[in-house]
Structure 1
Amino acid sequence: MASPAPGRARSAAPGWPEPPAPVLDPVEAVAATGSLTELDTAVTGCRACPRLVEWREEAARTKRRAYLDDDYWARPIPGFGPEDAALVIVGLAPAAHGANRTGRIFTGDPSGDLLYAALYELGLASRAEAVRRGDGLRLHGVRITDPVRCCPPENRPSPTERDTCRPWITREFRYLRPSARAVVALGGFAWQAVLPVLAESGWQVPRPRPVFGHGARAALPAADGGPGLHLFGCYHVSPRNTYTGRLTPAMLTDLLATAAAAAGLR
């Protein structure tokens, strides 16, 4: 079955909100928003990367055996969390049968199960379980986002797709500029992707650029007279890291606790 035409949004499944007008130019679309809420709505209509559009919608058609009865979201995934978040967690991209299915970032897969359990333990989430968009889960002072908003094949977005998607997260950080005090980059991809975003959003990135590692930390002074930012590196919460013991629940919780303290949340 062929994907919808490039300028046509996939219709909403039962229970999902209707998609907004299709977006083919993220630069133009983000400029038309006036708030983080408007940005979160607009991004769900993005169709700027044909390969990613085809892949996310193919995943929703073929499904995984465990989710054959599920209606997939199959659209770009907005950030999740309050508009005045002090701590921002940055991942890579949605999972084809996780967020692409459930409609919310890091929801419906083992990575999200670990992340939300850690946030709950620290008092930063209303509960440990994340089921799907609209399930009532709330974050306290924390926002989670991705530099790439559609699930990519093999979890590997191309450099072009990353750069095409960048206006969404850049505008997101500009809206978060008054409140953001700390950022946790989950993995080297997130670390490298977020550095130019932060440089465009009011903070000075040190030279030479800080190097990623678990527990890496960098101070980014304000470039606009506002407050500075603390950047932390954390191994990604993917099964590849967690099942091998490279990242344990205790390691994740400890790092998030340190970042939350830097953000003034603890």
Structure 2
Amino acid sequence: MRQDPAESPDFPARRAPGAHTVAVLDERVTHCRACPRLVAWREQVAREGRRAYAGWDYWARPVPGFGPDDAALLVVGLAPAAHGGNRTGRMFTGDRSGDVLYAALHRAGLASQAEASARDDGLTLYGVRVTAPVHCAPPANRPTPGERDTCRPWLARELALLRPTVRAVVALGAFGWQALLPAVAAAGWAVPRPRPVFGHGARVTLAATDGGPPLELFGCYHVSQRNTFTGLLTPAMLTEVLTTAARTAGLPVRDDTGSGPHRR
């Protein structure tokens, strides 16, 4: 029996570079089956479900990035949640981490609403795109280094396609930060040595290798339940990082009085 090409470990490396638009890249991501452990897990979760989501038709595929293809700010997480993005088919949608993230983006005037429950809920992002270095839900929310590296071509190509407009990236957590560095290098920005160390509020300017606009990299604690429930990451801390990154990227943000910028 011939192997499905999507199951080959080099599927992302072969298919990502030829995607000439973000829309094409997103579509190709959804067909990937390159990591057997992740494929088995995402599909097992979909079969077994959860009582709260009885009758829900799980997405159970790789989850593409979400947001405009000319974003000035990119937010990079870890991977879709088993009963969040793996269920809804949209990054950070349908789980408590997404509740925190999109509420903060809404407070900053970067999202049309604070809630994210489904792909058709009407949520729109303004100048911001949300993605992850691993596009499939991993067991225990822990992708392996090999799975991260296999998935990297998708992120590197996403960054390359956004390069004309993207000016800042927020890495949510150390995993996202570490996964980002080789991806931004592949997309055309220089990563200093020794490599920058992750920390909440960390900021590094990455020069473009071709003399183009630099990329500002920001670190932020991940919006995991563990971090938000313990207070390691508060809504104010998250909003501050996102607002600073958005301003750096040239995006209008909501001011301190609560009045936001005009949106079309």
Q: Is the structural similarity TM-score above 0.5?
A: yes
SS in 1 for 2:230: coil
Alpha-carbon distance between aligned partners in 1 of 2:15 and 2:232, rounded to the nearest angstrom: 39
Deviation of 1:209 (Å)? 1.1
- Structure 1 residue 33 and structure 2 residue 19: aligned? yes
- Structure 1 residue 63 and structure 2 residue 63: aligned? no
Deviation of 1:136 (Å)? 1.8
Mapping of residues 4-153 of structure 1, within 5 Å = 7=4, 22=6, 24=8, 25-153=11-139
Deviation of 1:26 (Å)? 1.1
Deviation of 1:22 (Å)? 4.1
Deviation of 1:69 (Å)? 1.6
Q: How many residues of Structure 1 are paired with residues of Structure 2 in the alignment?
A: 249
Deviation of 1:31 (Å)? 2.8
Alpha-carbon distance between aligned partners in 1 of 2:35 and 2:3, rounded to the nearest angstrom: 9
Indicate if the aligned counterparts of 1:23 and 1:45 stay in contact, CA closer than 8 A.
Answer: no
Q: Which moved more, 1:131-140 or 1:108-117?
A: 131-140
SS in 1 for 2:121: coil
Alpha-carbon distance between aligned partners in 2 of 1:145 and 1:72, rounded to the nearest angstrom: 19
TM-score by length of 1: 0.91
TM-score by length of 2: 0.92
| Structure 1 stretches lacking a partner, 5+ long | 8-20
SS in 1 for 2:222: coil
Alpha-carbon distance between aligned partners in 2 of 1:23 and 1:108, rounded to the nearest angstrom: 28
- Structure 1 residue 204 and structure 2 residue 156: aligned? no
Alpha-carbon distance change, 156 to 251 in structure 1, aligned in 2, over 3 angstroms? same
Question: After the TM superposition, which parts of structure 1 deviate over 2 Å for at least 4 consecutive aligned residues?
Answer: 21-24
Alpha-carbon distance between aligned partners in 1 of 2:157 and 2:240, rounded to the nearest angstrom: 29
Aligned to 2:261: none
Deviation string, structure 1 residues 89-134 (Cα, Å, up to 9, x no partner): 0000000000000110000000000100110111111111111112
Aligned to 1:14: none
Aligned to 2:242: 256
Percent identity over the alignment is 66
Give me the CA root mean square deviation.
1.3
| Residue of structure 2 aligned with 1:220, choices 206, 209, 213 | 206
Indicate if the aligned counterparts of 1:23 and 1:29 stay in contact, CA closer than 8 A.
Answer: no
